[in-house]
């Protein structure tokens, strides 16, 4: 069963709020990305096909906001 858009939003908001902790707890890129991915996978596993693009964009936005993707600091 897929999560509602409201539930997905709640989970994404919680992940975003936890990002400072994740970055501090896993300062090395090789440690951070697997941990972030495990949180992201919990969200995407519950995402319907019609919400997939939105959730993917939000996950990318969260990573970029905290210096992730190619610009990830550590």
pTM of the model: 0.88
Distance CA 25, CA 33 (A): 12
pLDDT digits (tens, 9 = 90+) for 5-21: 999 999 999 999 999 99
Q: Taking Cα atoms as reference points, which of 2, 15, 10, 1 lies closest to residue 52? A: 2
Give the whole-angstrom CA distance, residue 71 versus residue 8: 26
Q: Cβ–Cβ contacts within 10 Å for residue 43, how many?
A: 19
Per-residue pLDDT reduced to its tens digit, 48-74: 999 999 999 999 999 989 887 555 444
Give the per-residue pLDDT at 74: 40
């Amino acid at each position: 069963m897929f999560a509602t858009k409201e539930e997905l939003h709640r989970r994404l908001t919680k992940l975003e709020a936890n990002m400072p902790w994740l970055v501090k707890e896993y300062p090395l890129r090789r440690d951070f990305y697997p941990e972030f991915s495990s949180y992201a996978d919990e969200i995407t596993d519950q995402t319907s096909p019609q919400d997939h693009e939105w959730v993917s964009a939000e996950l990318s936005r969260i990573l970029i906001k905290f210096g992730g993707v190619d610009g990830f600091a550590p």
